[in-house]
Amino acid sequence: MQNETRRVSQRFFAPCAWVRGAWARQVLLSVDEHGNWHGVEPDSPPPADPTVTVLDGPLLPGLVNAHSHAFQRAIAGLTEFRGDARTAVGDDFWSWRDRMYSVARRITPEQLERIAALLYAELLAGGYTQVCEFHYLHNAVDGRPYADPLELSLALVRAAQRVGIGLTLLPALYMRSGFGAAGLRDDQRRFASTPDSVLRLVEGVRALAATLSGVNAGVALHSLRAADAGALAEVAAFAADGGLPIHIHVAEQAQEVRDCVAHTGQRPIAWLVDHLPVDARWNLVHATHATPAELQAVAACGASIVICPSTEANLGDGVFDLSCYVGSAGRWSIGSDSHVTRRWSEELRLLEYGQRLTQQRRNVAAQFGRSASCGAALFEAALAGGAPATGRALGAIEVGCRADFLVLDRHCPALLGVPAEQLLDALVFSSPDATIAEVFVAGQRRVAGGRASGNESEFGLWPALAEDFVRTMKVLWA
């Protein structure tokens, strides 16, 4: 009854749409004044009403990007070289991190906003309609707090609002450089936070969200190595009281696992599940080096794992054990993390190919999905895990969910001649990637002709974003 009292503000007609895990034909869709789906009617006759927007291609729900460090877009493609003699043999996550810090130490709020705006436009064009920003850049370049503690958070909010992507901002707790350390290293001073400062940031973002569409807040714990047990528990309790999503990096690196065992006597995920109230609001980022027992424990808690295949491959992290986890009914989502790629189709392709390479068999994800289609199984699972990462009703063409959707270019080479039932397989596994012609967020078009248009004219936004980004890169890498 509540839905009936809402006014329909827009209507669309799609030749086919992905509804509840299958293709529905001739779908009439209506959106209410709040930007949520009001009606979904398959098998409808083509509309005679000129106010109905007829979409020229298959329609998919938008996907959540559940893990992002926006500033790292500034180093994409710039760390792919052999280091000096000291690092050449052991070039790994930790040597990459030192290079990443060179940007983290220097980036200004204005530069962050410009980098994030271009990135968020790329993510929209790549099929993401909401991004979870795991935000640990809090302080000024000298490590002192800004006069407004929200200075860098506001830069990310402005960037998201400019291009029209949904944003879940996750201020992160970061207190020490490693297990047993007394504090942070000098090159980490911008990350410094306490439970109190993080909670104030979250409350500030929540106040902003009350006045802005498409923005909400959660909390992040950088990692077990970055804070002590008491601080972790304090922030986790705050999140539980507020019903907020909570995200944490965990078990990304083998060295991290060894350090955790040395200092706590337990592996990271085992410690986390034993000592903190892990439940369905929790999102464990990476979990690459987890045992079957740990993965089963995560699934039993109802938590989700955020897999970042392109970053995990780029950094040489390892391959997540998808078969074990999904075989335990575990929920997962995807993120683009360091943004070496910005399309979800590539993340899903890399995830499946990693499983095939390690297991020497094909269509691994399809073994656990409702559909025989590997592409459909991957897409459905990523949708189901993405929405809880944001704490919002997203990722489905269903009444009450936000009206986020993509329109595929049925005439692009990757989809030419492909039967309708296998469009998702071609979308994920046929490259160059299929073209996403249009993207809508809350019923508003944000990508046209494959490029982000935001609130501006069809092609008015991208040139300005690109110019700002190039100017910023020249300063950062002069």
* Among candidate residues 274, 352, 280, 273, the one with its CA nearest the CA of residue 313: 352
User: What's 63-390's CATH class?
Assistant: alpha beta
pLDDT for res 460: 73
Q: Which of 317, 337, 404, 409 is catalytic?
A: 337
Per-residue tokens: 440: 């809508």
* Among candidate residues 308, 459, 276, the one with its CA nearest the CA of residue 382: 308
Cα–Cα dist 463/469, whole Å:
10
User: Does the annotation count 228 as an active-site position?
Assistant: no
Per-residue tokens: 285: 């980022």
- Phi and psi for 268 in degrees, rounded to 5? -55, -50
Q: Which of 135, 222, 247, 286 is catalytic?
A: 286
pLDDT by residue for the chain (478 residues), tens only, comes to 344 567 999 999 999 999 999 999 999 999 999 999 999 999 999 999 999 999 999 999 999 999 999 999 999 999 998 765 444 556 888 788 888 999 999 999 999 999 999 999 999 999 999 999 999 999 999 999 999 999 999 999 999 999 999 999 999 999 999 999 999 999 999 999 999 999 999 999 999 999 999 999 999 999 999 999 999 999 999 999 999 999 999 999 999 999 999 999 999 999 999 999 999 999 999 999 999 999 999 999 999 999 999 999 999 999 999 999 999 999 999 999 999 999 999 999 999 999 999 999 999 999 987 789 999 999 999 999 999 999 999 999 999 999 999 999 999 999 999 999 999 999 999 998 899 999 999 999 999 988 888 765 455 799 999 999 999 999 999 8
Q: Are 131 and 65 in contact (CB under 8 A)?
A: yes
Peptide bond into 292 cis (omega under 30): no
User: Measured between alpha carbons, how far is residue 390 from residues 129, 168, 246, 347 in Å?
Assistant: 12, 6, 9, 19
Cβ-proximal residues to 367 (8 Å cutoff; 6+ apart), any chain? 323
Cα–Cα dist 68/306, whole Å:
11
E strands, 136-278, where? 166-173, 215-217, 219-221, 246-250
Cα–Cα dist 246/248, whole Å:
7
What are the start and end residues of each CATH 2.30.40.10 domain in the chain? Answer: 3-61+397-463
User: Does the annotation count 286 as an active-site position?
Assistant: yes
Cα–Cα dist 282/131, whole Å:
16
pLDDT for res 368: 84
E strands, 212-365, where? 215-217, 219-221, 246-250, 282-286, 304-307, 331-334
**DSSP secondary structure string, 364-416?**
TGGGTSSSS-HHHHHHHHHHHHHHHHHTSS-SSSSTTSB--EEEE-TTSGGGT
User: What does the DSSP 8-state code read for residue 337?
Assistant: B
Q: pTM for the whole thing?
A: 0.96
Single-letter amino acid, residue 281:
R
Helix (H, G, I), strand (E, B) or coil at 5: helix
CATH code given to domain 3-61+397-463: 2.30.40.10
What are the start and end residues of each CATH 3.20.20.140 domain in the chain? Answer: 63-390
For CA atoms 105, 107, 109, 115, give the dihedral sign: negative
Q: Are 156 and 113 in contact (CB under 8 A)?
A: yes
Residue 88 has, within 13 A of its CA and on its CB side, a CA count of 3
* Relative orientation angle of helices 292-301 and 268-275, to the nearest 10 degrees: 30
User: What does the DSSP 8-state code read for residue 36?
Assistant: B
Which value, in Å, is the radius of gyration of the alpha carbons in the chain?
Answer: 22
Residue 324 has, within 13 A of its CA and on its CB side, a CA count of 17
